[in-house]
Chains A and B, each alone.
Chain A
Amino acid sequence: MNKLLTIKIISFVVMAIGVISATGWIFHIPILSTAYPTWMQISFPGAISFIVTGIIIHLVSLSFGGHNKYFVFLPFVSTFLFLFTSVFLAASLIGFRTGIGDDFISSLTISNGLAQGGVTSAVTIIAGLALSAIGFLFTLNFLKFKKIYSVLGIVILGIGTTGLLGNIIKLPFLRLTLPGMATQASIPTSLLIISMGFAIYLLSKIEAVEPTSFTTIKSRLIVSVVSISFLSTVFLGVVNITSAGNIIKQEISNKIRLFSEAKEGEIFVYLYSLENRISDFSTSAIIKDNLKKVNAGSPQFSVLISQHLTENDKTLDPNLISMFVLDKKGITVASTKESYLGSDHTQDEDFTIGSKGTSVVNAENEPDYAPGTIIEVATPIFDDKTKEVLGVLVGVFNTEKLGQIMSGNFQLQMGALSSQNSSIQTLRLVLVDKNKNAIGYGNSLPSKNANAEIDTIPVDECLAHGKEISGEYVNHFGVKVIGSSMCIPDRGWTLVAEVDSKEAYSPLVTVQYGLGAITVFIAIFIVLNAIVNANKISDPIKELQEGADKISKGDFDHKVEIKTGDEIEQLANSFNRMATSLKFSREELKTYATGLEHKVFARTKELNDKILDLEKTKTSLSLAKAEDEAILTSIGDAVMACDKDGRVILFNKVAEELTGYSVAEAIGHHFSKCLRFIKESDGTLSINFINEAIETGKKTEMANHCLLVRKDQTTVPISDSASPVLGKIDNVIGCVVVFRDVTKERQIDKVKTEFVSLASHQLRTPLSTINWYVEMLLAGDAGNVTDDQKKYLLEAYGASKRMVELVNALLNVSRLELGSFIIEPVPTDIPELAKTYLKDLEKERSKKNITLNTNFAPEIKHLSVDPKLLGIIFQNVFSNAIKYTPENGKVDISIGHGENEDVLITVSDTGYGIPDSQKERVFEKLFRADNARFHEVEGTGLGLYIVKLILDQAGGKIRFDSEENKGTTFYISLPKSGMAKKEGTKSLT
């Protein structure tokens, strides 16, 4: 259940019960104040406390729920509760009676001695103080004291529980009573306190809404001053008035009591005198003797007694109405009135009490007299000798003199100057017999119903409990009086002295009105003062606030005029200074802003210029881009560009046509989707060269003889290359792949290859026949030849040989250029291979007397190379060295290791060298250096070109150092892994 709702319900219940109970007290409705039984009763202050407490909790819960406009009332009610409960605390501790609520307590409840309407319980006091503390704490800070709420809630809960337990299990120390005036709490009180404690505990568990409402300083000041000063003053006034009233009431009660005590004495004295008189008279011999005779059975003697009684009747006492004598059986035997004779008094007090001793007795069975108008005095008549009771003498007196004594008229008659009613007009005394008849009534004022039955609280209390009381009640006239009762238990009489409350309280009312008036004046003064002071404080603040508003609206010349001579005036001065400096700052700002505007204008212009420049650049860039795009589109080759993740970003028209994929299908996808290159030989995918280009940042080429698998799964032979696209800092940002359909080229190549083969065949056929026949001629197969003939034949043979070599060289060049030659590496003994080719040159070397030095590292025996290709290299390089070295020169050949464990072949000669100007053309096709041509006629100009082509394809390198007329050194290096294998169709010759 919602905690806030629970708290509100509890606060309402507590308030409602408080209101019901207080209503009960004020309007004397016992069922509401639950006057009976006592354990159900909520005291009047308790009821008031509950109402106020309910309001406090309700206000707090409203504030917690966000409705904090009621918040301002909280100090007011908290102060009230605090003052209220502390008055009771003080009253309990010091022991005076506050009188609060006394006015509301009916006489009935007082006389019963049950109600303690004006007294609150200790439990209520403690709980009330704790609750007012909560109210104050809450006023101080909305949320800060949550923990304290929880503690106080538990404390209040504990107090209530203790009180409840004390009530239920009747343990005195649990009842939390205070000696004096704080009583135990009733069960409903305890229960209400418990529920309040619970509500406060719940409060501490609520996530409160932050206060948002606006409260003016003025209203806060007024509320706080009013709640503290005004309420305190009113309280003090009320307590003064009620306690003063209480004291005066006490005083009056005491006086009346003293008075009734004194009157009781007087009455006793008078009655005693009556008793003495009757007693003395009973000793008369006439009575005794004649009564003895009557008792002895001679009734005629009673006449003598009656005669005697009548004779003395008038002289004995002026108030004596009649006398009669009862015999020992209780029968009237003699009387001043004949009508009395023979009446039976056996059961009457005059006989029962009178036979035992002289006493005033209640008149019974006296039909001649109205009740309460007579007093009977009975006395026993003794036999002088035997001391035996012979009978009883009864004197009947009227109450005239008793009334005079009681009213004080007697003392006036006796010469006194004043009596009780001179000072207190309504003071009256009533003597009531056991039948509640007023036997004596004293009041100078005329009284109505003087002889009515007196059935008032004091009489009832006396008759029922023998208890003398003082207090306020309603007398038998229905008038509210303050009275005091004296009980005369022997006779069952009650003496009541009472004064009309109206008269008794007249001085008190004056005092109370005076005090009330003073309180009201002070309160009005406080309220006015609060308003004036609040205005005095809040008006300058308001003015300051209005000034601030004006300044915020731009009115910097506004000056706040406050002459309070205090901190606020200082604040106003500071405020004015601030406004002035603000004004200056603003002007400075304005100046600055103007400057700034100019600057901004200038900068904006600059920016605009730059933007224009940029636009121009952009236009030219987009033109360039369009151009690039046009180039890319119209380029004859297919172009695909991708980013570094391989996503296609460009795909030109030729690429579309070639692959069968559209631009839309390609862009944004990985290039492998539309570029499916496979090896012609085994159909495996061959796109790694693109990844390699991206990874290494180097241009790569696809393996030879690749096919592109088109979208429709047909294939096209293609050739292509992948170039990485490098960013500004040489980082790879993508890759461009250029590829083209080589179907036609293939066809051309094929035709070309076939042509070359055919041409070489056709060229060689006659040459080989010539060679063989010349060889046979030289060998003498056709008979001996002369030296001259031999010389000619050799020339012809040499020329023919060169022709063959030229054809071979051309064939090789053709194959190398077509790339269709095979590299087939096998482990080869390199030095051995070199020796084979050197042997072929041996003849020429020795002819020119060239010194040959070889230095072959023995371990280089199993390098993986194509022996045929390396052979071509050796043949060309070695023969060049011999050929272009003059007679008696020197050639050094070494095979060893170079850098990175590469195999390094060095061929060094002391030949003609290469002119500096022609060094860079050495490896060109058909190039021969000028000096070489000069010195040596023979030479195709293809040798080094072939060597270079082979090494480029096989992964080797060649370079040279040369100085004209000094010599040349060629350096040929092969990787330590040997030659790279290469697929192809033709091997070189």
Chain B
Amino acid sequence: MNEKIKKILIIEEDTTFFKAYQEMFKNKGINIMNAVTGREGLTMVKTENPDLILLDVMLPGGMNGFDVLEDLKRTEATKNIPVIILTNLDSETNVAKSIGAKDYLVKANTTKDDLVKIVMDCLEAPCPEP
């Protein structure tokens, strides 16, 4: 189908979720990578240059999701990479969007189908504004 395999970087502490994402997106022709801390995530963004970043807010290592998002948006090379906040912390929608997140999804309130659809839609560049 597509000429190039899309890369999604998932910055997420809880590997249970990463496993679930792997299940969700297997057979979709998408390469999923995982970073556990914010710093790791940022490093991987530079090395892997992903097409989409799914970012959790609660991250270990002193740098939370918003800090990562701000860093990404500050950096010229990474500022155009769409970022979707995917977390179980809610009610920070406005903050996230003001920093430049494409979407703010609460895991518990998002069905698997919806999540897959949002991610797939976003990979179809350009990523639609929510």
Contact, CB under 8 Å: B113 / A775: yes
What distance in Å separates the Cβ of A416 from its nearest Cβ neighbour in chain B?
176
| From B17, B89, B115, contact of A760 by CB (8 A) | B89
Minimum CB distance partner of B91 in chain A: A986
Q: Kindly state whether residue B24 has any CB partner on chain A within 8 Å.
A: yes
Interface 1/0s, chain A 791-829, versus B by CB < 8 A? 000000000000010011001000100000110100000
CB of A764 closer than 8 Å to a CB of B: yes
Q: A765-B14, A772-B24, A781-B23 are in contact. Are A987 and B91 (CB under 8 A)?
A: yes
Chain B binding site: helix, strand, loop or mixed by DSSP? helix
Partner of A822 from B17, B94, B107, B111 at Cβ < 8 Å: B94
Please tell me if the beta carbons of A808 and B112 are within 8 angstroms of each other in the complex. no
Given A775-B111, A776-B112, does the pair A769, B17 have CB atoms closer than 8 Å?
yes
A771 CB-CB contact with B under 8 Å: yes
**A838 interfacial by beta-carbon distance below 8 Å:** no
Complex formed: what's the CA distance from A242 to B89 in Å?
A: 149
For the complex, is B90 an interface residue (Cβ under 8 Å from A)? Answer: yes
- 56-88 of chain B: CB within 8 A of chain A: 58, 87-88
Q: What residues on B are CB-neighbors of A775 within 8 Å? A: 111-113
Question: Are B91 and A988 in touch, CB under 8 angstroms?
Answer: yes
B108 within 8 A of A: yes
Per a CB cutoff under 8 Å, which of B90, B94, B112 touches A772?
B112
Which residues in B have their C-beta under 8 angstroms from that of A824?
A: 94
> A768 to B23, Cβ gap below 8 A?
no
On chain A, which size bracket covers the interface? 20 to 34
The answer to whether A804 and B112 touch across the interface, beta carbons within 8 angstroms, is no
Known contacts A764-B106, A764-B108, A765-B107; A989 and B17 CB within 8 A of each other: no
Docked-complex contact A769 and B20, CB < 8 angstroms:
yes
Q: Which chain A residues in 565-612 approach chain B with CB under 8 Å?
A: none
Q: Which residue of B lies closest to A868 (CB)?
A: B93
Among A764, A771, A804, A989, point to the contact of B91 (Cβ < 8 A). A989
Chain A stretch 951-989: residues in CB contact (< 8 A) with chain B: 986-989
Whether A804 and B109, one on each chain, are in contact in the complex, defined by CB atoms closer than 8 angstroms, is: yes
State whether B94 touches A987 (Cβ < 8 A): yes
Closest to B106 in A: A989
Does B108 lie within 8 Å of A771, measured CB to CB? yes
Which of B58, B90, B113 lies in contact with A811, CB distance below 8 A?
A: B90
C-alpha gap A727/B74 in the complex (Å): 62
The proximity string for B residues 9-36 relative to A, scoring 1 for CB distances below 8 Å and 0 otherwise, is: 0000010110010011000000000000
- Closest CB in chain A relative to B63 CB, distance in Å: 17
Pick the most buried of A764, A808, A824: most chain B CB atoms within 10 A of its CB: A764
Cβ contacts under 8 Å, A772 to chain B: 20, 24, 111-112, 115
- Chain A residues contacting B94 (CB-CB under 8 Å) are 822, 824, 987
Docked CA distance A759–B110 (Å):
18
Interface contact A768-B91, CB-CB below 8 Å:
no
Instruction: Give A822 to B87 CA distance when docked, in angstroms.
Output: 20
Number of interface residues of B (CB under 8 A): 24
Question: In chain A, what residue has the closest Cβ to B16?
Answer: A769
Residues facing B in A753-771 (CB within 8 A) are: 757, 760-762, 764-765, 767-769, 771
A779 to B116: give the CA distance in the assembly, Å: 13
Name the residue in B17, B108, B109, B113 with the highest tally of chain A Cβ atoms < 10 Å from its Cβ: B108
Residues of B within 8 A of A764 (CB): 88, 106-108
Tell me the complex Cα distance, A772–B111, Å.
7
Assess the B88–A765 pair: CB atoms within 8 A: yes
- Which has the most chain B C-beta neighbours within 10 Å: A765, A767, A771, A772? A772
The CA-CA distance from A702 to B112 in the complex, in Å, is 45
Of A761, A767, A821, which one neighbours B89 at CB under 8 angstroms?
A: A761
Q: Which chain B positions have C-beta within 8 A of A807?
A: 108
Which A residues are CB-close (under 8 A) to B14? 765
Q: Flag whether A521 is at the interface (Cβ < 8 A).
A: no
| A477 interfacial contact with B, CB 8 Å | no
Contact with A804, one of B20, B24, B93, B108 (Cβ below 8 angstroms): B108
A987-B93 contact, Cβ under 8 Å, with A764-B107, A772-B112, A775-B111: yes
Closest A-chain residue to B23, C-beta based?
A776
Asked if B89 and A757 sit within 8 Å, CB to CB, the answer is: yes
Expressed in whole angstroms, the minimum distance between the Cβ of B88 and any Cβ of chain A is: 4
Residues of B within 8 A of A781 (CB): 23
Q: A776-B24, A987-B94, A989-B106 are in contact. Are A760 and B111 (CB under 8 A)?
A: no
Q: When the two chains form their complex, are residues A768 and B113 in contact, meaning their CB atoms are under 8 A apart?
A: no
A96 within 8 A of B: no
CA distance A762 to B14 in the complex (A): 11
Residues of A within 8 A of B93 (CB): 987
In the complex, A765 Cα to B109 Cα: how many Å?
11
Q: A769-B17, A772-B24, A773-B20 are in contact. Are A815 and B91 (CB under 8 A)?
A: yes
Query: How many Å from the CB of A759 to the closest CB on chain B?
Result: 11
Distance in angstroms from B79 CB to nearest chain A CB is: 25
- The answer to whether A989 touches B23 (Cβ under 8 A) is no
Which chain B residues lie closer than 8 Å to A760 at the CB level? 88-90
Q: For residue A40, give the distance in angstroms from its CB to the closest CB of chain B.
A: 128
User: How far is it, in angstroms, between the C-alpha of A768 and the C-alpha of B115 when the chains are bound?
Assistant: 12
Top 9 A-B pairs, shortest CB-CB distance: A764-B108, A768-B107, A764-B88, A986-B91, A775-B112, A768-B108, A761-B88, A804-B108, A772-B112
Q: List 29 A-B contacts (CB under 8 A).
A: A757-B89, A757-B91, A760-B88, A760-B89, A760-B90, A761-B87, A761-B88, A764-B108, A765-B14, A765-B16, A765-B17, A767-B108, A768-B107, A769-B17, A771-B112, A772-B20, A772-B24, A772-B115, A775-B112, A775-B113, A776-B24, A779-B113, A808-B90, A808-B108, A811-B90, A821-B91, A986-B92, A988-B91, A989-B106
Beyond A765-B17, A765-B88, 9 extra complex contacts between A and B, CB < 8 Å? A765-B16, A768-B108, A768-B110, A769-B20, A772-B24, A776-B112, A779-B113, A824-B94, A989-B90
* A contact set with B: CB distance below 8 Å: 757, 760-762, 764-765, 767-769, 771-773, 775-776, 779, 781, 804, 807-808, 811, 815, 821-822, 824, 986-989
